[in-house]
């Protein structure tokens, strides 16, 4: 019972902070406007870690790699703490390599969940209040995901099916390759 509660706290705190760092990277990569409530929240919450990390981790092609590397680092810490709480002490080189790969898979899963949430939020905002101040930010974040699908499947009348197709594809990625990778890495432990 106590183990489950501790795992819940570790995964919740880690997931929230890693998701915020990944959102910071994604907003910067998409060139989202920095003057909106969500961007200001994300920057305020993550500046304490990202600004010092930028001194050590340079950007690449205009991308904020410090946020991405910190996200991976947080997920590595989550994986290690989870294993320690479950009673496994990773000490061999293979176990450490497996943890690094597991954290990378966790990063991909988190990115997919973030994309799914953004698409669902975009759809809801487009139905409820398309003139919302958050609509432009969400559209900027989802545009790289939906634009390739919109080239292949144009809107039918006034209905755009690209969010539905993107959600289906993202779910398939979660179900097939990522779940397979997690099982393979989990077999090491």
Confidence label for 173 from pLDDT (cuts 50, 70 and 90):
very high
Q: Which residues of 69-101 are buried (b: 16+ CB within 10 A; e: fewer)?
A: bbbbebbbbbbbbbbeeeeeebeeeebeebbeb
pLDDT of 152 reads: 94
Residue 142 pLDDT > 90, yes or no?
yes
Q: What share of the chain in percent tops pLDDT 90?
A: 65
pLDDT of 87 reads: 87
CA distance 184 to 189: 10
Residue 25 pLDDT > 80, yes or no?
yes
CA distance 93 to 131: 53
CA distance 65 to 131: 32
Q: pTM value?
A: 0.90
Structure tokens at 22: 């990944």
Confidence label for 92 from pLDDT (cuts 50, 70 and 90):
confident
Q: For the chain, what is the mean pLDDT?
A: 91
Confidence label for 59 from pLDDT (cuts 50, 70 and 90):
confident
Residue 35 pLDDT > 90, yes or no?
no
Phi/psi at 159 (nearest 5 deg)?
Answer: -100, 125
Confidence label for 187 from pLDDT (cuts 50, 70 and 90):
confident
Residue 16 pLDDT > 90, yes or no?
yes
């Amino acid at each position: 019972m106590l183990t489950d509660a501790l795992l819940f706290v570790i995964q919740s705190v880690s997931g929230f902070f890693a998701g915020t760092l990944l959102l910071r990277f994604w907003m910067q990569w998409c060139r989202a406007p920095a003057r909106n409530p969500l961007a200001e929240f994300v920057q305020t919450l993550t500046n304490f870690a990202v600004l010092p990390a930028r001194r050590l981790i340079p950007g690449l092609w205009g991308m904020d790699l410090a946020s991405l590397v910190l996200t991976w680092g947080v997920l590595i810490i989550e994986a290690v703490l989870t294993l320690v709480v479950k009673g496994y002490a990773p000490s061999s080189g293979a176990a450490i390599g497996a943890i690094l790969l597991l954290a990378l898979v966790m990063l991909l899963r988190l990115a997919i969940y973030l994309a799914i949430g953004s698409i669902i939020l975009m759809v809801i905002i487009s139905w409820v209040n398309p003139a919302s101040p958050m609509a432009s930010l969400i559209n900027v974040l989802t545009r790289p995901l939906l634009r390739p699908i919109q080239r292949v499947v144009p809107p039918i009348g006034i209905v755009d099916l690209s969010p539905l197709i993107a959600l289906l594809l993202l779910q398939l990625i979660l179900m097939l390759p990522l779940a397979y990778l997690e099982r393979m890495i989990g077999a090491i432990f």
